[in-house]
Amino acid sequence: MREIIFDTETTGLDPATGDRMVEIGCVEMVNRVATGATFHAYYNPERDMPAEAEKVHGLSASFLADKPLFKDGAAELLEFVGDAPLVAHNAQFDFGFLNCELTLCGLDIIGTDRMVDTLAIARRRHPGAKHSLDALCARYGVDRSHRVLHGALLDAELLAQVYVELMGGRQIGLELAVDNDPQNPVQTTTFAPKIGEYRAPRPHKASEEELARHAQFLETLETPLWTS
């Protein structure tokens, strides 16, 4: 199964108030293994960069001034994404900005039926714990020492590792019976029989023929231990 793990950086928190997406990073995974294929782009938001947002990702208006507009790179992004499910942390946020940019270009939005939210998964797996990307990296031993500022591609690469752990870790390759619903990973792999499945009782009593063969075998033994 092909999946795209992605992250965005923006000018703020709400595209409905004029905030724009300025960076996107995507990591391709097949059967929950990174293929090495990535997509990364910066975009000119055609507006200023609030100081609060720049503190988070370090992307200034001057840095983005010569970057392409989203509409000029939308086709390349959509080609990379294809029809794969899209995995993000707090996915409603990233989907909101991505679909806003697509709408501004007059393009079809990406349906939320393709959305996989690792924040929602983490809340189900670890109720009461911290669920930020940093906290999940710490929980699963994912090295984030090189993460000084937020960056879309770097965060997508970290999230890809966290996603694998949230979905059961590398042992998912040992599947005997698999739940393929990415939104419900609690029982990704199971080795138990299905409820209601009938299994005939296993016979434990030796037959008369087996007892006779065993007695015949014992007669061939010289000074067996149990008689010494």
Q: What is the pLDDT of residues 71-96, one digit of tens each?
A: 999 999 999 999 999 999 999 999 99
Angle at 29 between CA 23 and CA 33, to 5 degrees: 135
Position 201 scores a pLDDT of 63
Higher pLDDT, 26 or 179: 26
Q: Top-level CATH class of 2-173?
A: alpha beta
CA dist., res. 162 & res. 137, Å (int): 6
Cβ burial of 66 (10 Å; 0-12, 13-18, 19+) is: exposed
Q: 202 in helix, strand or coil?
A: coil
From 40, 89, 150, 214, active-site residue: 150
CA dist., res. 226 & res. 215, Å (int): 14
- In this predicted structure, the answer to whether residue 98 has a pLDDT above a threshold of 80 is yes
Query: What Rg value do the Cα atoms of the chain yield, rounded?
Result: 27
Predicted TM-score (pTM) above 0.75: no
- For residue 126, indicate whether it is catalytic: no
Q: 176 in helix, strand or coil?
A: coil
What does the domain layout of the chain look like in residue ranges?
2-173
CA 34 to chain centroid, in Å, comes to 10
> Stretch 13-21: mean pLDDT, rounded?
96
- In this predicted structure, the answer to whether residue 158 has a pLDDT above a threshold of 70 is yes
CA distances from 32 to 6, 24, 121, 144, 152 (A): 14, 20, 15, 20, 19
> Stretch 138-155: mean pLDDT, rounded?
87
- Mean pLDDT lowest for which of 28-37, 46-55, 150-159, 195-204? 195-204
